[in-house]
Structure 1
Amino acid sequence: MWHGWLAGARPGWVYGWRAHGPWVPAQGLRFNPQRVLLDPYAHEVVGRYAGDLSRHLGHDPLDPDRPHPQDNAPLALKARVVAPEPASPPRRTPLPTPEQRVVAEVHVKSATMLHPGIPKALRGTYAGLAHPVMIDHWRRLGVTTLELLPVQMRADEARLQAQGLANHWGYSTLAYFAAEPRYARAASGSHAAHATPGGSHNPAAFSAHQAAHAGAELRHAIATLRDAGFEVWLDVVFNHTAETDELGPTLSFRGLANRHWYRLDPEDAALYVNWAGCGNTLNLAEPMVLRFVMDVLRHWVTHYGIDGFRFDLATALARGGAGEFEAGAAFFAALQADPVLRRVTWVAEPWDLGPGGYRAGEFPAGWLEWNDRCRDALRAYWLRPQDERARRAELATRLAGSSDRFNVDPRRPRSPLASLNYVTSHDGFTLRDVVSYNQRHNHANGEHNQDGHADNLSWNGGLEGPTDDAGVQARRQRLQRALLATLLLCRGTPMLLGGDDIGHSQRGNNNAYCQDTPLSWWHWAEADAALSAYVARLIGLRRSVRALHAPHWLRGSAQAPDSVPDVRWATPDGRELSPADWHHPHERALRVHLVPSAQDDAQAEDALLFLNPGDTDLPAELPPPARTRQWWCRLDSTQPRGEPLQTPPVAAGTFCLPARSVQVWCGWPPAAPEFRP
């Protein structure tokens, strides 16, 4: 029986399930009627996965082959019946056009916990996320889209709780229909678990008041952000659940239908396939599970107003019954056919840890994909010149939109916008740390500094970590600006890691998933105002110049009606690149002349990009513009705010291109200020 009707049930009632059946782990059967189980469709959860965690196990902690003999009803997580939730109000502002989209990846609590302009009671909360000072900040930057790290209710892993830590990023979802209560405001007069940055801190704690009001507060925050003109995307985790592996808790799915919800080891059904690296893998090849996922997504669109979803380890969602990735997976077909979900944006993290898990560029037309090749190419170009990924050819491929990934199959036509380009994300170093650390420093995570990526393509500028050396500091700042400029100049959809724009550092921790501490919280009191202004100028420049955001592929060939190539690649001094030049290990500087089609826009202007990753200045030449008569320098990354030194427009000529710099020249002066200070 998969559903039933209980007459007289009303809002406020609390309930759980008991599932009777055989206990035969070797066959994947883990029924234990002594466990009270959370309804997977719970919209509000009563209780916490905390305290004596052994009481939440389905098996006997002394003998995992036997069911736990004690009843856990008093402390089990349960569902509360809630009144029908209101439909999300319709958007009152237009969505950004795809080619104008600029994404910021944001954690609700990290972004707001230390902001002095947010009242203390709202810091670290949904309300803080939508506070006017946050809205003003993103507007000044020019961000159009906020991609929120997971905000569905989670259960922190037992290992983390034993160390006083929490799954701060939120990739341990348990109740998919419920909002995470830890980001709701505490009741008036009570002590919020996150309200005292300098005092005691229990990252697992939240109150019944918070659980009851989390959904309404998140809905209001999202509505406020949408009314302010932003898109809101949600990072969702359907590759695994918080129940982890065979030694993990039995909170819901495992105790209800273990063989249906999860992929089990075909050699030993007592074990779980672990393609997510978190202990288990949900089985979307099972119709019941796929229906559940679709119901969850539809709920977040219709009741919360979510405009798009980023699917964590998305390869796992498209694996068939035998475990292979399927380009025509049922998950893809269900999304495309759904009248609600087909209208929102889908973003894939196109890999998992299973066999053949790396599937970048293989998702269907209409999907965006995180492009880790772009991240690696940009970092290598500016920070690791000895790496093969630092060559001109690799950088040019990423600047042009990564056609090697997204323009290879004519049966699935995709534009460069399918490439979601980034240089940093939540998973890894922040931008400031990429230029400040050669090695990870993750000791606070309690895993002996063995967790997190070892290959970071980072460079500390000469000294590891914080330093008072003025030369090293200047070098790091210059490299940050060069990386940001290159990211925003790549064709595709750019994504910034929230906090990079103010110079946020995690002190070299490149895997701060469990750090619900000041290590992860943005230190607004130390915000780099010049860097924020620089990012705003960059985004404004990208938005105002069509050649910098055009959504079509570069061809390099003559265009009708005037037979002008849409792109010319050269050395900074204008020499045409030979095949050997593209792969030269030492000479890597580049000039890119972008010419928009006159057929598309007769008023469109040329754009000229100069990139010098070396440590010496180089001679550079301005060629004659194709669409206009003069060049204006619109960006100079050597300047703290990117504003070029006052120079008159020129028709052509030579100049000195500084070391470790990016310059952008265009055929028109800015029609209006490209950023608001």
Structure 2
Amino acid sequence: MPNAPLPTSPSFTASDGAPFPPGALWLPDEQAFNFSIFSRNATAITLLLYRADDLATPCLRVPFRLPHNKTGDMWHARVPASHAGDACYYGYSVAGPCRPEDGLLFDAEKLLLDPYARGVFFPPGFDRAAACRPGPTAGRAPLGVLPGRADTPPPPIRRPRRHDHDLVIYELHVRAFTRDPSSGVPAAWRGSYAALTARIPYLKALGITAVELMPVFQRDPLHGTFWGYMPLNFFSPHAGYASDGTVDTALREFREMVAALHEAEIELFLDVVYNHTAEDHSGGPVWSYRGIDNASYYSSTPGTPFRATNRSGCGNDLDVAAPVVRQLILSSVWFWIAEMGIDGLRFDLASTFSVDETGHVDPTEPPIVTELSDTAHHWHTRLIAEPWAGDGSLMQLGRAFPGRTWRQWNARFRDDVRRFLRGDQGCVPLLMTRLYGSTDLFPDDRAHAARPYQSINYLASHDGLTLRDLFSYDDPGQFAANCGHQGAADAPEPVQALRRRQTRNGFCLLMLANGTPMFQAGDEFGHSRGGDPNPYDRDDTTNWLDWRLTENEAPLLRFVRMLVAFRAAHPSIARSVGWRDDVSWHGVDGGDPDLRPVSRSLAFFLRGATMEDDDLYVLINGWDDTLHFALPEAAQGAGTAWRGVIDTAAAPPADILPPEAALPVGDMERLTVQARAIRVLLRTRRDKTRQDNTR
């Protein structure tokens, strides 16, 4: 592979500069830039500055001299603004040995992006193919954006109140959320951070209290991914989500979006990917890490020759146990929390953090997990793990995950509740465990002291079928049943009615369970992706939300809004510990629940006294026939009459009622629950009634 220098341009002998912090930093007191970049195996590094009018030839070349511009593995230099002139962008040429068998892939002809760049610029000649083959890439490679020279810090961040029992997470994709013309935002804004800001009144009315954005890290715009799980840079919001597609606008609109969400008392979480990069499998593009020091940034199978590991399923796992990668991740996390104002992070394939430098799994607490936990505690930030690896080699759900205080996506909740709704055998005991708070995974005993809220409960997310498709398509791998007709379109009315009922059932079980509920954007009004469980590359109506459904499916949207409000109004549901003695479980006859494999029915009585709340009685019928439940002795007395507030089989608006509009239930000895339906009864305790009357 050639190692020739880039085109000749003016050179400058820089002062030493400082090794930390990494990246490009503007120093207003000195009117200079400090540049710092890591490379353990490079033999020479040259900083290249570019003007906007010539993106192929650098306006200034700054060779890093030894020993002045190197400290340990950090290469650094200080460049006065007078020498930088009107340069806007920068990159690096990194020379060194090319020995693929040792993981060394240096090529001084490649123009390389700073991993710490706070903005990424793609020139008009940007060419992914050129980065995949030997030879120069000047004018065709992404460049770092030089930091601004204005001495104005970002505006202060106002944090929203921290939600507890009323925390409800809403997962959405920035572009898909408003890209469709039906979104109601100006055409120039659609699919942008600004458009999401414009839809905050909808989020507020929905009642959710946290938004979790699918990845917004800058990615390669030519890669073909839509969901964003192939990050190019960990410090830049994706410019494609800016209303005008520019870096500066992306930074500004992202911060404005955060501020507006916080003003609405909505927290913002980011889905972040730190396990691999957009440089892809072996033979993929050389954009940044691979050319700067492939063997230091990427993980390899122990032994020789160098062979990249593939726990992420993307062929280029970052070596998250290596200090240089840990520093990169921690710096990125700090940036998004401290400078961009986010309130939480959901870590994609977080189990990859458990692999140490030898390739073995550390079952205790790996350094990166401890360091991230310390950062989160400092900023009172929530950490959420996807507790598995992409290749299926690691599943650390529950107490097996090393981050003892982290929340986790609970795939067992998803699968067990889906199976119950499908009508599988043996699911009633599993359903009880999931509703109680999944204490089999998050035990709240003295030894483990886990909390139910660490379980992120969900039925559908970006990864898999939507909730509407779950009841519209037969898909054994997704535990999906089509209710008697394959496909979302042209279903007869009885099938559609059953699907609507099952959708309400799913939302009902999600919101009645102890833990932290999450649902994805569009499920509240029946968005379908045509049965595709993995449209990661579809920038079209498959992923775009059709907002006309908010009118066509207005009864479902009303049901979800009121259900979210019902959960928020009843803190006895979501607790910091299990329900313990406040819950009793029952069968159709009012006695003990039927736990036989053939059983499909369950009832439970949840006392609200401990939480100064109302009592709830929940009746669940998973059979295809009507059931008549008896009220257990435990649920008799000690309060006013029971009122029916939720009935998923009732025609809207009777499917969910405000408590003041709910009438007392008549025959309390035999409570009728229609086929495939859930009823929720509410009773105000006598002592609470007296308290309310004296206020």
TM-score normalised over the length of structure 1: 0.84
| 1:338, distance to aligned residue in structure 2 (A) | 3.1
Matching of residue 593 in structure 1 with residue 605 in structure 2: yes
| 1:157, distance to aligned residue in structure 2 (A) | 6.7
Residue in 1 aligned with 2:627? 618
User: Structure 1 regions of 5+ residues with no counterpart?
Assistant: 61-67, 159-165, 187-206, 440-453, 556-564, 672-677
Residue in 1 aligned with 2:380? 343
Q: CA RMSD in A?
A: 2.3
CA distance in 2, matches of 1:43, 1:365: 32
Among 436, 441, 464, the residue aligned to 1:428: 464
Residue in 2 aligned with 1:80? 145
| 1:297, distance to aligned residue in structure 2 (A) | 0.5
| 1:546, distance to aligned residue in structure 2 (A) | 2.7
| 1:622, distance to aligned residue in structure 2 (A) | 2.6
| 1:222, distance to aligned residue in structure 2 (A) | 1.1
Closer, same or farther in 2 for the Cα pair 1:49/1:567, shift >3 Å? Answer: farther
Contact kept in structure 2, 1:384 and 1:457, CA below 8 Å: no
CA distance in 2, matches of 1:88, 1:532: 36
Residue in 2 aligned with 1:182? 240
Residue in 1 aligned with 2:225? 167
Closer, same or farther in 2 for the Cα pair 1:408/1:321, shift >3 Å? Answer: farther
What amino acid maps onto 1:608 in structure 2?
Y
User: Structure 2 regions of 5+ residues with no counterpart?
Assistant: 1-69, 690-695
CA distance in 1, matches of 2:378, 2:278: 25
| 1:366, distance to aligned residue in structure 2 (A) | 2.1
Q: Helix, strand or coil: the match of 2:604?
A: strand
| 1:256, distance to aligned residue in structure 2 (A) | 0.7
Residue in 1 aligned with 2:76? 4
Closer, same or farther in 2 for the Cα pair 1:319/1:48, shift >3 Å? Answer: farther
Among 498, 503, 516, the residue aligned to 1:493: 516
| 1:392, distance to aligned residue in structure 2 (A) | 0.7
User: Which fold has the larger relative contact order, with Cα–Cα distance below 8 Å and residues 6 or more apart in sequence?
Assistant: 1
| 1:74, distance to aligned residue in structure 2 (A) | 1.7
What amino acid maps onto 1:121 in structure 2?
A
The residue correspondences of 1:553-564 to structure 2 (distance < 5 A) are 553-555=578-580
Among 474, 497, 505, the residue aligned to 1:438: 474
Matching of residue 90 in structure 1 with residue 163 in structure 2: no
Matching of residue 21 in structure 1 with residue 96 in structure 2: yes
Could you tell which deviates more after superposition, 1-10 or 644-653? Answer: 644-653
Contact kept in structure 2, 1:110 and 1:124, CA below 8 Å: yes
How many residue pairs get aligned? The number is: 596
Among 184, 206, 209, the residue aligned to 1:117: 184
| 1:123, distance to aligned residue in structure 2 (A) | 1.1
| 1:183, distance to aligned residue in structure 2 (A) | 0.7
Residue in 1 aligned with 2:671? 655
Q: CA offsets per residue over residues 631-652 of structure 1, 9 Å max, x none?
A: 1111111234522596325694
Closer, same or farther in 2 for the Cα pair 1:234/1:350, shift >3 Å? Answer: same
Q: CA offsets per residue over residues 261-300 of structure 1, 9 Å max, x none?
A: 1101224444310000011111111011101100000000
| 1:55, distance to aligned residue in structure 2 (A) | 0.8
Residue in 2 aligned with 1:189? none
Q: Helix, strand or coil: the match of 1:479?
A: helix
CA distance in 2, matches of 1:245, 1:659: 51
Matching of residue 47 in structure 1 with residue 47 in structure 2: no
| 1:417, distance to aligned residue in structure 2 (A) | 0.3
What amino acid maps onto 1:520 in structure 2?
N
Residue in 2 aligned with 1:462? 484
Contact kept in structure 1, 2:126 and 2:139, CA below 8 Å: no
Residue in 1 aligned with 2:13? none
Structure of greater Rg: 2
Residue in 2 aligned with 1:215? 251
Matching of residue 283 in structure 1 with residue 313 in structure 2: no
Q: Helix, strand or coil: the match of 2:234?
A: strand
Q: CA offsets per residue over residues 150-176 of structure 1, 9 Å max, x none?
A: 111012575xxxxxxx21110000111
Among 640, 643, 662, the residue aligned to 1:629: 640
The residue correspondences of 1:487-566 to structure 2 (distance < 5 A) are 487-527=510-550, 528-555=553-580, 565-566=581-582
Residue in 1 aligned with 2:410? 371
Could you tell which deviates more after superposition, 651-660 or 528-537? Answer: 651-660
CA distance in 1, matches of 2:336, 2:296: 24
CA distance in 2, matches of 1:116, 1:426: 19
What amino acid maps onto 1:237 in structure 2?
V
| 1:73, distance to aligned residue in structure 2 (A) | 1.2
CA distance in 1, matches of 2:672, 2:566: 22
Contact kept in structure 2, 1:595 and 1:627, CA below 8 Å: no
Q: CA offsets per residue over residues 536-584 of structure 1, 9 Å max, x none?
A: 11111111123222221133xxxxxxxxx3211111331213xxx31x2
CA distance in 2, matches of 1:124, 1:310: 22
CA distance in 2, matches of 1:50, 1:473: 51
Closer, same or farther in 2 for the Cα pair 1:576/1:48, shift >3 Å? Answer: farther
| 1:53, distance to aligned residue in structure 2 (A) | 2.7
CA distance in 2, matches of 1:394, 1:50: 56
Residue in 1 aligned with 2:430? 394
Matching of residue 604 in structure 1 with residue 613 in structure 2: yes
| 1:54, distance to aligned residue in structure 2 (A) | 2.5
Closer, same or farther in 2 for the Cα pair 1:16/1:423, shift >3 Å? Answer: same
Matching of residue 104 in structure 1 with residue 170 in structure 2: yes
CA distance in 2, matches of 1:144, 1:438: 33
Residue in 1 aligned with 2:656? 643
CA distance in 2, matches of 1:141, 1:421: 18
The residue correspondences of 1:395-410 to structure 2 (distance < 5 A) are 395-407=431-443, 410=446
Q: CA offsets per residue over residues 82-122 of structure 1, 9 Å max, x none?
A: 227734523264222x2210000011111111244211111
Q: CA offsets per residue over residues 303-339 of structure 1, 9 Å max, x none?
A: 1100000000000123212221433110121123337
